[in-house]
């Protein structure tokens, strides 16, 4: 009954038609026998129109389609004025709900469109009854007043609808903003654990064996620890910066042309496990370098933690101006019953209690913020995760042809 759209409008007009039906039935008892066929016909017309108002198909029609239901109502009211000998006092008040209904559900143009039919329904029986010019002048003023009432209602409701739309838009923007802020906070909590573990390992090593370690090895451990603390500092500065969330609740990215091979090499310096890179021609992607590093570290760390060597990173150009980065391990793959929640928040495929299930969810969120995505496919053997990123060049070269296999040396005392 209540709401917007042609379906609600038609059902509300059906109620007015039911009222007209009741009035016609009462009038039918008091009119002269010669007028009864007319009122019986009007009673039937109003009943049919009232039933039609409940037809569910109105919702699929044009917004103005229910205006057709005004005609039976105006016909009944016109007959009432005629039967009363041109005295409109009994029927005139019932013109008001029609124009109120128009103002509630339609624009001002709809009220102007119905106004000529309403004027005819009001004036013709007055002329037929021989009413004087004063009555006709009153009729001429009556209809514009109804249009004015309808216009005021339509404009006021239009103002409220625009305000409601603005509130809904603001609510959606706030929701998207809070979603990203929660995602960034979760990312910080997730990504800080690994470099902290590496720093702790370095400090414990220096504490226990500092006298026995050669200077070069001590320097390497300290450099690795500094590199990991620098990563923590960048994560904290970037991910907790509220300015990185724009007014529409999206992550604001510092997008630039990034050489993919250099980004992969830099990401692998934070890991302590050998990883092979298979690329022939370097390609460039449009990405935020810091966020791209997070994506690569998360995928490779996931392969190291849950798969088995060898871990292979390869790239390929794909249709649509995208570049695919594949990270494959040779373990047992993801169990089939866990694949459905693989990228959901807190939906880790690892049942171990220390696995909080944020890494892949964060990776997909970051990839989608770039206009790409992350997918999983079983390999034989192992698992293969693929991240799609926009290519920096219109026609990126195929980076998957010949292989340039390189085993990355150990770069830090613990893997991310």
Q: Which residue has the tokens 């005609």?
A: 71
Characterize the bridge pairing of strands 373-378 and 311-318. unpaired
At residue 211, the 3 state secondary structure works out as coil
Distance CA 262, CA 123 (A): 84
State residue 280's pLDDT score: 74
CA 109 to chain centre: 32
Residue 326 reports pLDDT greater than 90: yes
> How far apart are alpha carbons 349 and 340 in whole angstroms?
10
Distance CA 328, CA 384 (A): 4
Once rounded to an integer, what is the mean pLDDT over residues 296-319?
89
**Token pair recorded at residue 238:** 């970037």
- What is the predicted pLDDT for the residue at 352? 43
Tell me the mean pLDDT in the region 326-342.
86
Tens digits of residue pLDDT in 223-249: 778 777 876 766 665 555 444 544 455
Question: What pLDDT, on a 0 to 100 scale, did the predictor assign at position 186?
Answer: 67
What the block records as the tokens of 264 is 């992969």
Cis peptide leading into 274, omega within 30 of 0?
A: no
pLDDT at residue 410 greater than cutoff 70: no
Structural domains of the chain sorted by starting position, each given as residue range(s) with its CATH number in brackets:
6-131 (no CATH), 179-244 (1.10.287.130), 256-390 (3.30.565.10)
**pLDDT computed for residue 234 by the predictor:** 63
pLDDT reported for residue 285: 93
Q: In the predicted model, what is the mean pLDDT of residues 386-408? A: 60
Q: Which residues pair with 278 in a beta bridge?
A: 314
> Alpha helix (H) ranges present in 61-132?
70-83, 95-105, 108-128
Of 37-46, 178-187, 325-334, 396-405, which has the strongest mean pLDDT? 325-334
Report residue 301 as tokens: 């760390």
The DSSP H or E segment spanning 222 is helix 215-239
Element (H, E) at 389: strand 383-390
Report, as an integer, the average pLDDT of 84-113.
Answer: 84
pLDDT exceeds 60 at position 183: yes
Length of the chain: 416
Most distant CA atoms of the chain, gap in Å:
122
In angstroms, the CA 102 to CA 397 distance is 62
pLDDT confidence of residue 402: 39
pLDDT tens digit sequence for 190-215: 667 667 777 887 788 877 777 777 88
Helix (H, G, I), strand (E, B) or coil at 195: helix
* CA torsion, ordered 124, 127, 132, 137, to nearest 10 deg: 30
Task: State if pTM tops 0.85.
Answer: no
Q: Which helix (H) or strand (E) holds 386?
A: strand 383-390
pLDDT number for residue 42: 75
C-alpha closest to that of 271 among 391, 155, 411? 411
pLDDT surpassing 50 at residue 112:
yes
Q: How far apart are CA 387 and CA 103, in angstroms?
A: 53
- Comparison of pLDDT for 374 and 192, the residue scoring more: 374
Instruction: Check if the beta carbon of residue 367 is closer than 8 Å to that of residue 295.
Output: yes
pLDDT score for 357: 45
- Confidence band for 408, pLDDT divided at 50, 70 and 90: very low
Distance CA 255, CA 250 (A): 14
**How would residue 157 be classed by pLDDT, with cut points 50, 70 and 90?**
confident
Residue 409 confidence (pLDDT): 34
Lowest-pLDDT choice from 148-152, 249-253, 275-279, 372-376:
249-253
Tell me: the pLDDT tens digits for 120-144?
Answer: 888 888 888 777 676 667 777 888 8
Report H helices in 330-411.
359-369
The mean pLDDT of the chain is 78
Confidence band, pLDDT 50/70/90 cuts, at residue 305: confident
Assess whether pLDDT exceeds 80 at residue 185: no
């Amino acid at each position: 009954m209540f709401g917007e759209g042609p379906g609600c409008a038609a059902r509300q007009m059906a109620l007015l038609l039911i009222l007209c039906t009741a009035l016609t039935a009462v009038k039918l008892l008091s009119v002269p026998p010669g007028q009864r066929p007319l009122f019986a016909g009007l009673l039937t017309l109003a009943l049919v129109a009232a039933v039609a108002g409940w037809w569910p198909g109105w919702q699929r029609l044009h917004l103005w389609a229910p205006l057709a239901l005004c005609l039976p109502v105006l016909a009944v009211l016109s007959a009432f004025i005629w039967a009363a000998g041109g005295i409109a006092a009994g029927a005139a008040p019932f013109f008001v709900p029609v124009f109120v209904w128009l103002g509630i559900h339609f624009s001002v143009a709809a009220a102007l469109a119905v106004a000529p039919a309403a004027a005819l329904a009001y004036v013709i029986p007055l002329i037929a009854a021989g009413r004087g010019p004063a009555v006709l002048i009153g009729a001429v003023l009556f209809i514009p007043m109804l249009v004015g009432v309808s216009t005021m209602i339509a404009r006021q409701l239009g103002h409220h609808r625009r305000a409601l739309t603005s509130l809904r838009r603001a609510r959606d923007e706030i929701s998207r903003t809070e979603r990203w802020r929660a995602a960034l906070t979760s990312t910080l909590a997730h990504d800080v654990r690994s470099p902290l573990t590496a720093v702790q390992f370095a400090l414990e090593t220096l504490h226990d064996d500092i006298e026995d370690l050669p200077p070069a090895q001590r320097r390497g451990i300290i450099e690795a620890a500094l590199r990991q603390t620098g990563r923590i500092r960048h994560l904290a500065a970037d991910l907790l910066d509220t300015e990185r969330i724009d007014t529409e609740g999206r992550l604001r990215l510092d997008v630039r042309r990034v050489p993919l091979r250099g980004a992969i090499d830099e990401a692998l310096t934070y890991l302590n496990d050998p990883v092979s890179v298979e690329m022939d021609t370097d390609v460039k992607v449009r990405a935020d370098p810091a966020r791209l590093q997070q994506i690569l570290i998360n995928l490779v760390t996931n392969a190291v933690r849950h798969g088995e060597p060898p871990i292979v990173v390869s790239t390929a150009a794909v249709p649509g101006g995208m570049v695919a980065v594949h990270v494959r391990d040779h373990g047992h793959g993801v169990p089939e019953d866990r694949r459905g929640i693989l990228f959901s928040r807190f939906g880790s495929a690892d049942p171990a209690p220390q696995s909080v299930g944020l890494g892949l969810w964060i990776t997909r969120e970051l990839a989608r913020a770039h206009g790409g995505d992350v997918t999983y496919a079983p390999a034989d053997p192992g698992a293969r995760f693929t991240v799609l990123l926009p290519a920096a060049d219109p026609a990126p070269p195929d980076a998957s042809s010949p292989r340039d296999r390189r085993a990355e040396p150990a770069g830090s005392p613990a893997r991310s």
